[in-house]
Amino acid sequence: MSRLILVRHGVTAWNQAGRYQGHTDVPLGEDGRIQALRVAARLADEQIDLCLTSDLSRARDTAAAITAGRGLSPHETPALRELAFGRWEGIPTTDIAVQYPDDWRAWISDPVTARPPEGETLQELLDRCVAALEAVIELPSRRNEPHDWFSYAAARGQSSGDAGRSVLLVSHGGPIRVLLAHLLGVPPRAYWQFAIRPASVSVLDLYPEGAIAEVIGETTHLRDPAPTVVASEMAPDPAAPAR
């Protein structure tokens, strides 16, 4: 068994304004930086052997907060970036249907094969995210042939033996949703049914026969009192005034 911890980056100004971000490198807002520290506190007792992160700063800085003091250096990769929304990036979601009505209808109807103008499809997003994950951790078989132990004991939360490596993946809403769909056997087009809010935590145990979700989209840690910010725990905010 291996453990996969999926964390969405903290909130940004574009999140709060309802704008598609995609590959645009929008930094964490002040709220997002506090959220990243709360995620770090939530995962303080979790074993983390390897950290993968999107190379966009909102994910990268969230990963840095979580791994601070662990002796881990997050591995950055563009393969874990958000879906490329092309010309929709920076536009409020309420305006896209007005400005791009045909493209919007096509994408809403079938995001797996349709794409935003100059963007990518959900299938392309899924393919690159799965490839990045398969390079570092063994994923469950897709044969859907459960063994007796897995069917009855694992589903009740019993351990099959020594745990394998624990991988932290810090990314964006789209990548986490499609990975959850893939690992839990849900059709990719149903990715939107997972509520993956900024700074949420999802934890899955990966067995050869399948994945078991411990939590999906947990945000209870965001209600904790604001953590004390230690300067070394976070990268400097590029939007902050010089002091």
Would you call 82 a catalytic residue per the annotation? Answer: yes
Residue 77 is part of a domain; what is its CATH number?
Answer: 3.40.50.1240
Q: Is residue 177 part of a domain?
A: yes
pLDDT of residue 140: 84
The whole-model pTM stands at 0.86
Per-residue pLDDT in tens (0 to 9) along the chain, 243 residues: 899 999 999 999 999 999 999 999 999 999 999 999 999 999 999 999 999 999 999 999 999 999 999 999 999 999 999 999 999 999 998 899 999 999 999 999 999 999 999 999 999 999 999 999 999 998 886 655 555 555 545 555 555 445 688 999 999 999 999 999 999 999 999 999 999 999 999 999 998 888 999 999 999 999 866 555 443 344 444 333 332
Question: In this structure, is residue 113 part of a structural domain?
Answer: no
Select which of 30, 75, 82, 118 is catalytic: 82
Q: Residue 144's pLDDT is what?
A: 55
Total domains present in the chain: 1
> Which pLDDT does position 138 carry in this prediction?
86
Here the contacts of 140-146 (C-beta below 8 Å, separation 24 or greater) are: 140/183, 140/206, 140/207, 140/208, 140/209, 140/210, 140/211, 141/208, 141/209, 141/210, 144/185, 144/210, 145/209, 146/209, 146/210
- 9 in catalytic set: yes
Q: Is 96 contained in some domain?
A: no
Q: Is residue 139 part of a domain?
A: yes
* H or E element in which residue 4 lies: strand 2-8
In a domain, 183, yes or no: yes
* Domain around 161: 2-86+123-233
pLDDT tens figures, 104-136: 999 999 999 999 999 999 999 999 999 999 999
User: For tokens 């209870």, what's the residue?
Assistant: 220
Residue 106 lies in a domain: no
26-47 residue pLDDT tens: 999 999 999 999 999 999 999 9
Confirm if 183 and 206 have CB atoms less than 8 A apart: yes
Q: Does some domain include residue 102?
A: no
Asked, for residue 100, whether it belongs to a domain, the answer is no
pLDDT value, residue 31: 96
- Report the pLDDT value the prediction gives residue 207, as an integer from 0 to 100: 87
Active-site choice (9, 172, 182, 221): 9
